[in-house]
Structure 1
Amino acid sequence: MDLLDWHRDRLSARRLTVLIRQLPHDSALNRELHGEAADWSVTDHLLAAAVDHLAAANWMFASVNSEEGDQPEPPAPVPRPSHDEEAAAVQEDEPAPETEKAAPSNVQLARFFG
């Protein structure tokens, strides 16, 4: 398909929009727009969440069943593409208190649920 057909009025704007929206998740355009996040599917996000929850459950079990001075370190979450970008943005602005967790943004929810 020649994209110059859009300028030659052989390809409608609607058809071009449909073709662009139906590109695969790993296409060059999606990688350019979304970076590494384009490689992550809903399955990948769910698997990372399952690994994080399992690590947290194991950490809680070890914390409860260990001596007071022998507490294990909390597990680090699986790095996600959107997590790296937001962590850099948070560090630039102002460090958030460790006790306060921010709710996920609309962009994060849209990426997670596809």
Structure 2
Amino acid sequence: MSEHNHDCNCNHDDCNCGCHNDEAVTVTLTLDNDEVVECAVLTIYEADEREYIALLPLNEDGENEDGDVFIYRYKEVDGEPTLENIEDDDEYEVAADAFDEWLDEQDFDALDDEE
């Protein structure tokens, strides 16, 4: 994640999310059950003064099969992206609501582009 794209509306100052790049930025996660999952970065966004990242898990063909989205707390530590599990239900609700708002904005923006 080295390119900087500041036009994607993800609200991250050093945006690397690839929203407008032809090539999607992906990350590889190792889940608690040791399953390795490749995920596309949908957006990095702020909610309640914290940053979060929304990831779209992909299958071997680079497609999302079930519509699931993973949301993690996002931080940069010494210039390296770090993901943290969200353990608190209230915090997760805030992060999920903010992601839903981002999704709604994307749908609205897509409609504007069609006109």
Give TM-score, length-normalised by structure 2. Answer: 0.23
Give TM-score, length-normalised by structure 1. Answer: 0.23
Q: Normalized per residue, which structure has more strand?
A: 2
More RCO (CA 8 Å, sep 6+): 1
